Structure 1
Amino acid sequence: MPSGDRGSGTVLVLALVAVVLLLGAGLGALSAAHGSAGRAQSAADLAALAGAGVLPRQGVAAACAVAGEAAVRNGARLTACEEDGADVLRVTAAVDGVGGQALRQARAGPSSAREEG
């Protein structure tokens, strides 16, 4: 073996290890972002359902307060809450994650108010 090639295997192995570590870090960040989005969607769904149960009897202010409490209990915060038709509540929940903020919307109300599409 020529003396100029000595140690080249070590450099190649180190480069390969570095590439594998970078790929692992990237996949970890993607996984964390996906988890944040899932938590935000779950919190939005539950907040919309909780608020929609109160909306017909107590109005939008009380419904949004209940929705906000439900979002917090599920690890999120409510960034928007509004009445979206007769007895339908639309909410947006946010969860802070590794790559930034995950925002998800949900809508809840009576089955007669079902959105087409």
Structure 2
Amino acid sequence: MPGTLLAAGIVATTTLLAAGLAAAGGASIASQRAAGAADAAALAAADAASGAVTGEPCTRAAELAAAAGAHIVRCEIEGLYAVVDVSVPYAGLAATARARAGPAPGSQ
């Protein structure tokens, strides 16, 4: 009987550890998706702000974020620079990321 309880405890502990690692891995993936979506959205907004592409900068950013499964939380245009915050849902929570894009300093 004690061996059965020990085996059940080991199985339960292993199951909980595996579930925790899976949740942490999923959160890491959501975080990376948010970072990629923020980068793409900021670049799209900066391109629109500079006139390299047509359209309103924050609308372009929202389109790119949506294509990556994210949504825009904040979009600010400062001259030719764009700052974008995005959110990606994960397990009832949200992974967020911020990106800034524009011309290199001194290149204007």
Same fold flag (TM > 0.5)? yes
Give the structure 2 partner of residue 89 of structure 1: 82
Query: Secondary structure in 2 aligned to 1:81?
Result: strand
1:57: Cα distance to partner? 2.9
Query: Secondary structure in 1 aligned to 2:84?
Result: strand
> What RMSD over aligned residues (CA atoms) do the two structures have, in Å?
1.6
Whether the 8 Å contact between 2:57 and 2:77 is mirrored in structure 1 is no
Query: What is the letter of the counterpart of residue 27 of structure 2?
Result: A
More helix by percentage: 1
Aligned partner of 2:33 among 30, 39, 49: 39
Q: Which runs of 5+ in 1 are unaligned?
A: 1-6
Aligned partner of 1:74 among 62, 68, 72: 68
Residue-by-residue CA offset, 1:46-99 (whole Å, 9 max, x unaligned): 0000111010239xx810000000000111001100024x31000001000126
Give the structure 2 partner of residue 3 of structure 1: none
Residue-by-residue CA offset, 1:5-33 (whole Å, 9 max, x unaligned): xx110110000000000000111111111
Moved runs in structure 1, 4+ residues, more than 2 A?
none
- Give the number of the structure whose alpha-carbon radius of gyration is greater: 1
Q: Distance in 2 between matches of 1:54 and 1:42?
A: 18
Query: Secondary structure in 2 aligned to 1:64?
Result: helix
Percent identity between matched residues is 38
Query: Secondary structure in 2 aligned to 1:75?
Result: coil
TM-score, reference length from structure 2: 0.90
Give the structure 1 partner of residue 15 of structure 2: 21
